[in-house]
Chain A
């Protein structure tokens, strides 16, 4: 097939785009929540170990698969995996590389649009004088879940969502160097600047100042107080490894896609390491120094432990900023939601590009047409998340696309790379043109340790015990009382554990279970539709005379 010649404009642009892909809302919202839920300082050591033993090796693997595929003119996962092994089935593993990006983008763009809306409301003073409860209610009004109705039709949220999706499609249609790269070069420095401003403000907050009741440093102390006994707790290890996964955008197919536009002899080892460490800088140094210290400063440690989560970013932070006076509240709102927006858009662009590349490579669409196809498909899937947000559609997308599919794809790709393509060829691929010398022991880490890590996460997610209590679960199993499954485990999710009533309709009205199952059917249908498109693409290719 003809080899596409689109390339990155500059090396810095590539690294910033890759770092922007990794740096997302999770760096500022998920990481602090995971750290708090897993015992603060208890979390950090497994987190850093997972970064070195799984995160960095998988980054090199994904960059190598991408650049290798790009050599053959493939810029999305199906083609990349097809040229790595002889089996005709490998390209179907690549379905994950399209499916995950498309379906995660569907709900992620909605989430991203909230940040844009909150920037606007911070600037016009919508949160001024509001109590914590009123700010929290503002969010429920915004997503139209106040009356608990089956169907949500949030006018304003829809407007901001359409603006966000339109912006994504427009940037994507401009191309790699004129679109994505420019967005990364603007977004990443601004994001870091905003984050520094908030982190400095947070860490210097003292009890009695601007209405704070605690020193913010108490929050930092909780986050960093080491608890070595936690190293034997599988729950903490699973959470830490999972966070590394999500924060680096591993197992999505977006890293592969960006790397496919790198020349065959150009470095990937240094670029991957630089993008990965930049993400850690933003997550640990900046992400860990904003939400928790500020929230602890105003609400206390116990409140934060009991309420930590994604919602804190939207429902709590605007209230706390009000203590800083109208001008600084607006400035802090702009900085906080602005940085979340830049973190979000640099990630959602990376989700769009593999889908666009798939249509360009296999169906010969031009970039604008591909971007529009991505936009329309994303819109259809997003509307489902928006209209049935209150009944769990958004959460189902997040679980199956944003969690399960990532781990499944990473497990497959690590096996294909190390065991099918072969670790010797793989190691050579990673090191070709390298501007740093990668320690040789990583070859064995990639071959043995990373797949074992991934199998452990995958199996652990299937059977995670109730409340993550592995010791109690094994004791229960050995004493003949069976394995107490958590409703959040994969098996628990499939069988609707935790629901007393699993009927689709009660008195003619659709239930939450109905929306959950309908969402799963929609996701499965999307997955199968992509597999079907791959089949068509390869049939076409076989029909074209060599």
Chain B
């Protein structure tokens, strides 16, 4: 795999994985209902 393809792939994967995990963990930790 070429370096440029590898860098692009890892960059995109990292961003997507970071936000997916970050937001999902926040969903798990934060109660939905607000009174």
Contacts and interface: CB of A to CB of B under 8 A. Distances in A.
A265 B34 CA distance: 6
A274 B28 CA distance: 11
Given A221-B1, A278-B20, A284-B16, A436 B26 contact: yes
Given A11-B31, A15-B24, A15-B27, A281 B16 contact: yes
Contact of A44 (B2, B8, B23, B30): B8
A263 interface: yes
A263 B32 CA distance: 9
A154 interface: no
A188 to B, nearest CB: 11
Interface residues of A, number: 33
Contacts of A225: 2, 4-5, 8
Given A11-B32, A266-B32, A433-B34, A274 B24 contact: yes
A267 B1 contact: no
Interface in A218-262: 220-221, 223-226, 262
B27 A266 contact: no
B24 A278 contact: yes
Contact of B5 (A14, A224, A273, A285): A224
Interface in A284-324: 284-285
B2 A221 contact: yes
Nearest to A288: B9
Residue with the greatest number of chain B CB neighbours at <10 A, chosen from A224, A266, A280, A284: A224
Given A224-B9, A284-B12, A435 B4 contact: no
Contact of B20 (A263, A266, A280): A280
Contacts of B19: 273, 277
Contacts of B16: 277, 280-281, 284-285
Contacts of A11: 27, 30-32
Q: Is the interface of A mostly helix, strand, loop or mixed?
A: helix
A428 B30 CA distance: 21
A411 B10 CA distance: 34
Given A281-B17, A281-B20, A274 B9 contact: no
B8 A273 contact: no
A372 to B, nearest CB: 31
Contact of B34 (A10, A44, A266): A266
A263 to B, nearest CB: 7
A217 interface: yes
A270 B23 contact: yes
Given A263-B33, A285-B16, A12 B9 contact: no
B24 A226 contact: no
A280 B34 CA distance: 29
Nearest to A215: B1
A271 interface: yes
Contact of A435 (B2, B15, B24, B26): B26
Contacts of A492: none
A220 B13 CA distance: 13
A354 interface: no
Interface of B: 1-2, 4-6, 8-9, 12-13, 15-17, 19-20, 23-24, 26-28, 30-35
25 contacts: A11-B30, A15-B24, A221-B1, A223-B5, A224-B6, A224-B9, A224-B12, A225-B8, A226-B4, A263-B34, A265-B34, A265-B35, A271-B27, A273-B23, A274-B23, A277-B20, A277-B23, A280-B16, A280-B20, A284-B12, A285-B13, A285-B17, A435-B26, A436-B23, A436-B26
Going nearest first, the 7 A-B pairs with the smallest beta carbon separation are: A274-B23, A11-B32, A224-B9, A224-B5, A281-B20, A225-B5, A277-B20
